[in-house]
Structure 1
Amino acid sequence: MSTPATASIHKRFAASAARVYDAWLDPDWLARWMFGPAVRDEKIVRLTTDPRVGGEFSFVVDRGGALVDHVGTYLALERPHRLVFTWATRDSLPATSQVTVLIEPLGDAACQLTLHHAMAPEWAAFTERAASSWQKMADALERALAT
């Protein structure tokens, strides 16, 4: 078996682990930090989640007239410490990657998030770009949590 290519980021938040965790599962919160103008030049079309193990999500955005549907299945949901889900775009299915989000509480009002995005080995050249995108989203989440 080949070793996956992995993009990783770390981010400290001045918010509780539960608050950061919940922002990953609520479509209203996802619209504030993961997609849309807070992160990149795109319009949100539809964000849906079924936050349970085995539940699926679909995040559809319009990027310059092209609809992109980010899809996945929740593999682990351990509030407020760990989320694991598959990640792909609808047009790349059945190939998927896997994202693991670990949230470590640092007292009542702070936490440390570590994200690992494991992709097929042939995506090794993409890991730096993926890490940059996740970092941009984490920075947008920090701004959203501060408001």
Structure 2
Amino acid sequence: MNDTIDVQVTRPFRARAEQVFDAWLDPAWLGRWMFGPDVRAEKVLHLRTEPRVGGGFSFLVERQGQAIDHIGTYLHIERPRRLVFTWAIRGESDDDASTVAIDIADIPEGCTLTLTHTLPARWADYAPRTRQGWSTMLDALQRLF
């Protein structure tokens, strides 16, 4: 029995791989496409990154009056091709942490990004919601380029 489930989303970008990669590590860029009122009904409280292997991030937002802190640790940083990090909500069980891998490849018009979010199998019912969430964010990032 498989202990995990992969959710995958791919998007082309009319931008250089370096630009798309850097948008994942720069809080100013993250606030334009991943979080905030331009993406969904929420208020950004802080977006902090320490972009190095072993470094962490904290993306604290307020949704419907509730503070939600998306946290993780950078596991692999290979600019501009691959970024891997853990993904969890502060205060939830360590068993609920998942992993996100970003792979970027050049194409003639720019680059293509493939996101693979590996979830614990017990979260399989959330796979469609996870896919939709990442799709919404990647669509917002795509519009910036």
Q: Sort the TM-score into its range (normalised by shorter chain).
A: over 0.9
Name the residue aligned to 1:101. Answer: 102
The Cα shift of 1:93 comes to 3.6
Q: Which amino acid aligns with 2:139?
A: D
Pairwise CA RMSD of aligned residues? 1.1
In 2, Cα distance between equivalents of 1:40 and 1:21: 22
Q: Which runs of 4+ in 1 moved over 4 A?
A: none
Name the residue aligned to 2:125. Answer: 125
Name the residue aligned to 2:57. Answer: 57
Name the residue aligned to 2:7. Answer: 7
The Cα shift of 1:91 comes to 2.0
Q: Does 1:135 align with 2:135?
A: yes
In 2, Cα distance between equivalents of 1:15 and 1:90: 33
Name the residue aligned to 2:70. Answer: 70
The Cα shift of 1:3 comes to 3.4
Could you report, residue by residue, the CA deviation over 1:69-114 in whole angstroms, capped at 9, with x for unpaired residues?
A: 000000000000000000000021423100000000114x510000
SS in 1 for 2:69: strand
Count, aligned residues: 144
In 2, Cα distance between equivalents of 1:30 and 1:137: 10
In 2, Cα distance between equivalents of 1:6 and 1:126: 11
SS in 2 for 1:72: strand
Gaps of at least 5 residues in structure 2 are none
Name the residue aligned to 2:40. Answer: 40
Gaps of at least 5 residues in structure 1 are none
Question: What TM-score does the superposition give when structure 1 sets the normalisation length?
Answer: 0.94
